[in-house]
Structure 1
Amino acid sequence: MDTTGGLRERKKEATRKALHEAATRLAIEHGLDAVTVEAIADAAGVSRRTFSNYFAGKEDALLHGDEERMSLLLDSFAARPPGEPPWAALRGACAAVFESTDEPDPQMAVQARLARQHPSVLARLLTHYASVERRLAGIIAEREGRPADDPAARVLAAAFFTALRIAAQRWVEEQPPRPLRVVADETLDQMARPFA
């Protein structure tokens, strides 16, 4: 059995995580504008060149954790039973992600605030959300045996991610804070209610 590939992938993921954590910590401590790629690389114990092998810029390093959670959500949804109704499958995938990951720490809330304050981070975040939403719509359409550009699949994907974005905003703003899972469940329940 070849374990070299697995070890290599674990090392890469460890480096990626170290860079993300360094970017987040430095942005919290000094403000994003004062953080350089070199400072992030130094804090993670890697070279500037190594940083560039993983991320295009400090914004990408900062948002890595969010992108990982979205990928996990898509994978979890794609693995749901084929006969499960789409909204139920989306809720099940969301619950599975919450069960498999720790409750987000306050740094995630700080990261969300940074995104709102810095156009470069917000632009990257919105671009990523749009990409993930398109991918989710494609998975929904495929599960339902519909064309890839099916409007119902696109609306469902957009509604689901809109509810998650609203939940994240509520979670960041609430005092005292409640678990993100609770806030997300409430918001998804509200989204599932008919408007008319």
Structure 2
Amino acid sequence: MSRSDEKAGGLRAVARDAVRQRLADVAMDLFAEHGFETVTVEQIAERAGVSARTVHRYFPAKEDMVIGMLEANGGFVRDALLARPVDEPALLSLRAAYTALVRRGPHDESRDRTAMRLLSSTPSLRARNVEKHLVWAELLTPIVAERLDGDDTPLRASVLVETSLTAFQQSMIAWADDPTERPMAELIDIAFRDLVR
């Protein structure tokens, strides 16, 4: 592959990501205005100025417009966890990995809050979020297990990761409806406070 082919491939990927983000943004705005269940793919396509077929090319299901962007964050959390000191307590390392994720920018807080509200109130999105939760657990549990001493490390690691994922999820739901609009990282610290004493 020539250097120009590599550059063209890189530009195509950037363009694809930009279109994907634009469609997700349009969808989130419509979901915020009208609710997830009532918005159609055709309405999203019309607002974005593309065909419904184009929307389906980027997002096979409407739920992917909310969850799809979140699923990709699992790799970032895994890498952030791997970067933590191996002798650090597992829950502290997991909390730090989630905090690194929410501090990574840029964020559109209005759309992020809408996404979290939708995740907690829409049955089909809750189901997809459970799937995302399982994918993240598969990425994180082996790392935690390698860092534990003693017996039954797979079970203990699974409990620690699942507990941390629940704490992270609950902190994000609380953040979406927090009337004082505290930073996400502060609510993660609160959610983990009693776990890491």
- TM-score for the superposition, normalised by structure 1: 0.83
Q: Which gives a bigger RCO, structure 1 or 2 (Cα 8 Å, sep 6+)?
A: 2
1:93 to 85, 97, 109: 97
Comparing 77-86 with 7-16, which one deviates more in the overlay? Answer: 77-86
Per the alignment, residue 113 of structure 1 pairs with 117
Q: Mind listing any 5+ residue stretches in structure 2 that lack a counterpart?
A: none
Does the C-alpha gap of structure 1 residues 134 and 42 become closer, same or farther in structure 2, counting only changes over 3 Å? Answer: same
- C-alpha distance in structure 1 between counterparts of 2:82 and 2:9, whole Å: 25
Check whether the contact 1:73–1:97 (CA below 8 A) recurs between aligned residues: yes
Instruction: Tell me if 1:127 matches 2:131.
Output: yes
Check whether the contact 1:41–1:47 (CA below 8 A) recurs between aligned residues: yes
Describe the superposition over 1:104-146 as per-residue Cα deviations: whole angstroms up to 9, x where unpaired: 5133222222233321111111221122122211332345599
Per the alignment, residue 160 of structure 1 pairs with 164
1:77 to 77, 81, 89: 81
Check whether the contact 2:95–2:188 (CA below 8 A) recurs between aligned residues: no
1:25 to 29, 32, 36: 29
Describe the superposition over 1:161-189 as per-residue Cα deviations: whole angstroms up to 9, x where unpaired: 11101211222232222111111112122
- Give 1:14 shift: 1.0
In structure 2, give the amino acid aligned to 1:74: R
Check whether the contact 2:74–2:139 (CA below 8 A) recurs between aligned residues: no
- C-alpha distance in structure 2 between counterparts of 1:98 and 1:111, whole Å: 14
Comparing 33-42 with 14-23, which one deviates more in the overlay? Answer: 33-42
1:179 to 177, 183, 188: 183
- Give 1:80 shift: 3.6
Check whether the contact 2:74–2:135 (CA below 8 A) recurs between aligned residues: no
Describe the superposition over 1:25-73 as per-residue Cα deviations: whole angstroms up to 9, x where unpaired: 1111122222111222233333322222222211111223333444422
In structure 1, give the amino acid aligned to 2:170: I
Alignment of 1:6-85 (within 5 A): 6-85=10-89
Does the C-alpha gap of structure 1 residues 38 and 153 become closer, same or farther in structure 2, counting only changes over 3 Å? Answer: same
- C-alpha distance in structure 2 between counterparts of 1:81 and 1:4, whole Å: 39
- Give 1:79 shift: 3.8
- C-alpha distance in structure 2 between counterparts of 1:63 and 1:175, whole Å: 24
Q: Mind listing any 5+ residue stretches in structure 1 that lack a counterpart?
A: none
Q: Secondary structure at the match of 1:34?
A: coil
In structure 1, give the amino acid aligned to 2:137: E
Does the C-alpha gap of structure 1 residues 142 and 50 become closer, same or farther in structure 2, counting only changes over 3 Å? Answer: farther
Check whether the contact 2:99–2:188 (CA below 8 A) recurs between aligned residues: no
Comparing 158-167 with 114-123, which one deviates more in the overlay? Answer: 114-123
- TM-score for the superposition, normalised by structure 2: 0.83
